[in-house]
Structure 1
Amino acid sequence: MQRDELGDLIGFLAVAEERSFTRAAARIGTSQSSLSHTIRRLEERMGVRLLTRTTRNVAPTEAGEQLAQTLRPAFNEIRARLDSITALRQKPAGAIRITSSRHATETILMPAAMRLMADYPDIMVEISIEGRLTDLVAERYDAGVRLGERVEKDMIAIKIGPELRMAVVGSPDYFARNPKPATPHDLTQHVCINLRLPTLGGLYAWEFENNGRPLNVRVDGQFTCNDAPMIVRAAVNGLGLACLPDDQFDDLIAQGRLIRVLEDWCPPFPGYHLYYPSRRQVSPAFELFVEALRTRG
């Protein structure tokens, strides 16, 4: 069906129901003369008279009444569906799928998601915890959460957490047996815990900077893991020095269970960001979730 054919049917049904070109034209927002032309065009295309016109009245013919009876339930159904879609804005509902790292999920996403689901029972949240960078479109995620410096440039990125710094830490027991490193170069003399990167599978080179000059150091040690919480546990147990974003260690440093070193070599960098495709049409439920997270940024 062509676009003008649908418009002609809408115009005809308005006249058939209002029994007046004047009232029908006002109802659909057009002129009386334009509506009259529309009905003539529809009758010519169908090859049958649909309306009987007199100076005082307009009424459907038998063919017109049959057409009106066919159109009325179809258009009522369309109208009801449109109303239900509009209602979604008034009462947000639906599913939100997010991919995120474990730490960002625990510290940022879950608190926001729990508040949102409590306030809006018709909203469902699914969080997939993974360290690798994910193709949001291909894997049908609404959004992802990653460190700001890892977000692709063609994405909309919203800050949802403070700036972070890398932190090198060791347990009191480890430093009772080993001197504290004064510079990153000293790390070659230390037992370190390696992080296996999830995306390409390589080992993370510890990143430092001093006076604007970057320095990457490859470290060695007995233990390697691709899970940050397990690396934190290993460091607490004295298996070696660990290097992760400082928010992984804050509580343990405050408790004295870990000691931070090389702090002057660890400048701040962008923290966690929510990101999603720039051309994505977001749902009301997703807009609420974004707003809940944005207030934390």
Structure 2
Amino acid sequence: MKKFISLGFILLYLVFWGCKQNASEIKVIGFNIRYDNPDDGINAWPNRIPLVKAYLSKESPDIIGFQEALHHQVKDLEGLLPEYRWVGTGRTNGKQEGEYVPVFFKRSVFEMEDEGQFWLSDTPEVPGSIGPGAVLPRIATWVKLTHKASQIPVFVFNTHYSHVSDEARRQAAEIMAERMKRIAGTAPLILIGDFNIEFQSETYQQVSNLFHSNNYLMNTVAHMDPEKKPAKKTYQGFSEATRGSFIDFIFVNEHFSVKDFRIDKVKTDSVYISDHWPVKTLLKIQ
């Protein structure tokens, strides 16, 4: 029986992820890469670069939303991903200082039409501005793309919410909901991020309801294999011994059907790809 189950799982995986994608399908990855901190020891950024390269080469996503990337890390990713174009700025000054939340996308799949960023504060256009309840600037990057195969416009937003308080995260969500509506309207929209909100918590429900009522967004995790849900977590802090938390999500609106959602656990015996596991979803644009 176990052999049949294993074989069935392998076949199912190949159907969703191993086969060549249909032209209307879009693979999206959300990935907090952990800022380059020399104190991370064996898990410092230079040691993790080979894992990042191998993982992204194997997955070959159409869109990637990274979080916590410092400028030199963005340049490293640019070198690892020559077939992609990217947009984004540093959160501290709107240039190269501070963490980025860049969006990378395949040149062969998308044409860029417009892009921008805003701060999750009462003054979203002011670089480096800090929102209520937060202690650091928080930013959102967005890009308007044309999906070449279908000529359908697709808006992608990428963000990283405050780690300090639920109030800061709720305020950030309100700003984002309004901005997404203003920028994208009712067009196809993908929202990627490290939201620092535990899945199914009270704050998560409030934010999820806000996104649904304002932007018609749904969390792609709804399409995760039910057997994997009890053990799910995306943040592990470089240790699977910790309880961890499920805080990284990909939301989409009604213009997409969701074929699958997965959390990818990538590590060698001694090195983790990041202190967060990447999350990925396979979408069909409609």
Give TM-score, length-normalised by structure 1. 0.23
Give TM-score, length-normalised by structure 2. 0.24
Asked which structure has the greater CA Rg, the reply is 1
Which structure has the highest helix share of the two? 1
Which structure has the highest strand share of the two? 2
